[in-house]
Amino acid sequence: MIAETGVKLPLFVVCMLVAILVTNIVPRIFPRIAWPTRTRALALISDLSLNVFLAMSLMSMQLWTLGGLGLALALVLAAQTLAAVAYIVFVVFPVMGGNYEAAVIAAGFTGISLGATPTAIANMTAVTKLHGACARAFIILPLVSAFFIDLANAVAIGFLAR
């Protein structure tokens, strides 16, 4: 159905779209089915999956291929870190409201700007384990960082590849 529109999306983006639809539609159509949202079992599975993904990502990095780029890589990393921290402190946190929810989103944005969406989720999980839940941040950040950005990238790459 999506391919018929002419937009080529990576398979994981389509899977995320289907998961969002199923998670929001099935409990409304079949209210008697015990849907596993907000259960301890689902939280355990999601934490385990995130930790396995992060471990696999770190173990598959071939850092020895960057042997001759040490100083240049350190300078670029330092500049990116400074720019990200300045943007998070002076833009993200105040624009998101300057409250606890903004702090959790800022922690997640730190993970996005210096890593990827799983790093953002790990950062937000660490903050919320210490200071309490923040459900809205766990809705906003993954949607924006994983789904909407991937859709925008797919459209941009499709447009530029012509």
pLDDT tens digits along 80-119: 999 999 999 999 999 999 999 999 999 999 988 877 888 8
Quote the percentage of the chain above a pLDDT of 90.
27
Listed residue (142, 81, 92, 150) closest to 117, CA to CA:
142
**Residue that has been written with the tokens 């670029």 in this structure:** 76
Q: Is the pLDDT of residue 6 over 70?
A: no
Q: Could you read off the pLDDT of 36-53 as tens digits, one per residue?
A: 777 888 888 888 888 888
Go through 64-76 and write b for each residue having 16 or more CB atoms within 10 A of its CB, e for each that does not: eeeeeeeeeeeee
pTM of the predicted model, to two decimals?
A: 0.63
- pLDDT value of position 106: 94
pLDDT of residue 99: 93
